[in-house]
Amino acid sequence: MDRPLRLVAENPLDQLARTLEALLVVASQPLSSAELADAAAEDAERVDMALGLLTERFAEGRSGIVLEQVAGGWAFRASREAAEACGRMFERPVERGLSQAAMETLAVVAYLGPCSRPEIARLRGVAVDSVVAGLLERGLIAEAGREEGGAVRYRTTPLFERVFGLESLSVLPRLDDLGDADEIRGRLEELAEKRPA
Amino acid sequence: MAVPVRELELDLEAFEGPFDLLLALVLRDELDLGEVDVAAIVLAFLERLAEREQLDLDACGEFLVLVAALLELKARALLTGEDPDLEDLDPAEAAAELARRLADYRRIKEAAAWLFERLDEESDRYFRVGPAPLAPRIERRIAPQDPNRLAATIRSLVAEPPAVSLAHLELRFPPVEQFLGRFRSLLARRNRFDFDSEVHGMTRVEQAVAFLAVLELRKGGEVELSQAAAFAPIRVQRNTETKPERNSAWTARSA
């Protein structure tokens, strides 16, 4: 043999996939495929194909690192089977101890945002200043311009989508689909049955 | 034969069960009072009361207290804060508005419940939340550079700048003596002269110094000054008296 044998024919997408892998591991937030294409100086179609390759490679059950499509982009996360170990080592300050009031406010902003504090207060029937401040601090909502009257408006952040595992805000269920009167009655009956005699 | 108020069975739109469970659910915020028809509770109680042929004052009293508390809670829950929008509405419209708001709020509560569920489902997803933002993308490309030009540019920056001329800021005052001598020699030839025509063509500073010289001559009693009117030409006349009058009054007249 005068020439070395090439045993493995490399998939032409492999190199691009490796580049995307590197970009995603450095990123601290989800990267859109357009951003990935820009950074890799490749066309979007090939990037999407390479992402498909990576999605297979970094899948739940196959790898400790999982590639997911979240918050309008692509991001690595730990596999769910490693959650317990992660939980022993890492805190989750963003979502820890979210109160009912905070969650309702978050729901208002997610569904109706951008909206101002007076608007949220009107819906919830109570002042929401401290709740909004808390959500801002957690990074779940952010300022998004002002109303004509001058009140600051808020919207949810990509971090919100990421924490709640939403691909985008459009995957939030329609408000009308969120259970009906029968369901509420059912819950009440359930409660009534549980009541100690 | 007391009517057991707390065990009063209710069959309302929003609730079915004994009265005390309803109260418990309301107090634990598990049942929205806005959906509870209090009038129906009263009717149910009255029916029970009518079944007995005897008026049970104790039961009525207890019932009144409980229903009054319930009504107050409901009123407070429905009318949180002052809302000027509601003042202009008639009762039917206000009720419809409140019902609409309660429905909105219930949807929000349901959305919040969905989010809670979702958070619970996703609690085993760990990911990195880095504070580092993306680096700003540099679009500008720098053209190829010539090192000699760079050196020349830097050299021009290092060179000592020329001293800044302050000449234009200086006022040059000619000595008063120059004018004293000039006016004295003038007065040696003539008895009087016109100040304005003597200083005509001089700079403002020179004119001012010339005037100082005239005042100096006046102070020494060498000349007398006169002026026909304000801004009229100043006439300078040689003083014929040899003795200087230090404190003599001004003779310059003004109109």
Same domain for A113 and A173, yes or no, is yes
Q: Total structural domains in chain A?
A: 2
Q: Do B112 and A75 touch (CB under 8 A)?
A: no
State what percent of residues in chain B have pLDDT above 70.
80
Query: Which residues does chain A have within 8 Å of residue B109's beta carbon, measured at their own beta carbons?
Result: 104
- Asked if residue A135 and residue A160 are part of one domain, the reply reads yes
* Within a domain: A123: yes
Read off the amino acid at residue B183.
Answer: F
Q: Which pLDDT belongs to residue A66? A: 94
In a domain, A185, yes or no: no
Q: What is the ipTM of this complex?
A: 0.70
pLDDT tens for each residue of A20-54: 999 998 888 899 999 999 999 999 999 999 999 99
Q: Is A196 part of any domain?
A: no
Residues B32, B102 contacting (CB under 8 angstroms): yes
Say if A132 falls within a structural domain. Answer: yes
DSSP string, chain A: --S----SPPPTTHHHHHHHHHHHHH-SS-B-HHHHHHHHT--HHHHHHHHHHHHHHT-TTT-SEEEEEETTEEEEEE-GGGHHHHHHH---TTTTT--HHHHHHHHHHHHH-SEEHHHHHHHHSS--HHHHHHHHHHTSEEEEEE-TTS-EEEEE-HHHHHHTT-SSGGGSPPGGGS--HHHHHHHHHHHHHHS--
Same domain, A133 and A65: no
A107 and A77 part of one domain: no
With an 8 Å Cβ cutoff, are B114 and A29 in contact?
Answer: no
Residue A8 belongs to some domain of the structure: no
List CB contacts (< 8 A) between A38 and chain B: 137
Residue of A nearest to B104 (CA): A123
Give a yes or no: residue A192 inside a domain: no
Q: Do A74 and A106 share a domain, yes or no?
A: no
Contact between A175 and B107 using a beta-carbon 8 Å cutoff? yes
Residue in A75, A165, A175 closest to B122 by CB = A165
| CATH classification at residue A169 | 1.10.10.10
d(CA B106, CA A54): 42
Q: What residues of B are in contact with residue A189 (Cβ under 8 Å)?
A: 16-17
- CB-nearest to B108 from A29, A80, A123 is A123
Provide the number of CB pairs (under 8 Å) joining chain A to chain B. 121
Q: What is the pLDDT of residue B89?
A: 62
Residue A114 and residue A147 in one domain: yes
CA B169 vs. chain centroid, Å, equals: 42
pLDDT at B81: 55
The answer on pLDDT for B52 being more than 90 is no
Is B121 an interface residue toward A (CB < 8 Å)? Answer: yes
Contact criterion met (CB < 8 Å) for A123 and B101 = yes
Tokens 């001598």 sit at which residue? Answer: B181
Pair (A165, A120) in one structural domain: yes
Host domain of residue A80: 14-85
Q: How far apart are CA B200 and CA B198, in angstroms?
A: 6
The residue type at A176 = D
A105 and A172 share one domain: yes
Residue type, B51: E
Residue A193 inside a domain? The answer is: no
Verify whether the Cβ–Cβ distance B128 to A28 is below 8 Å: yes
Q: How does pLDDT run across B148-204, given as a tens digit for each residue?
A: 988 998 888 888 888 888 777 767 788 888 889 988 988 888 888 888 888 888 888
The answer, yes or no, to whether residue A63 has pLDDT greater than 80, is yes
Our CA-based measurement puts residue B100 at a distance from the nearest CA of chain A, in whole angstroms, of: 10
Per CB-CB distance under 8 Å, the chain A contacts of B128 are 28, 76-77
Specify the pLDDT at position B87.
55
- Is residue A94 situated within a structural domain? no
Q: Which CATH superfamily groups domain B171-238?
A: Structural maintenance of chromosome 1. Chain E (1.10.10.580)
Delimit the domains of chain B by residue range. Answer: 5-79+96-115, 171-238
Q: Which residues of A touch B76 (CB under 8 A)?
A: none
Of the segments A47-51, A89-93, B112-116, B225-229, which one has the largest average pLDDT value? A47-51
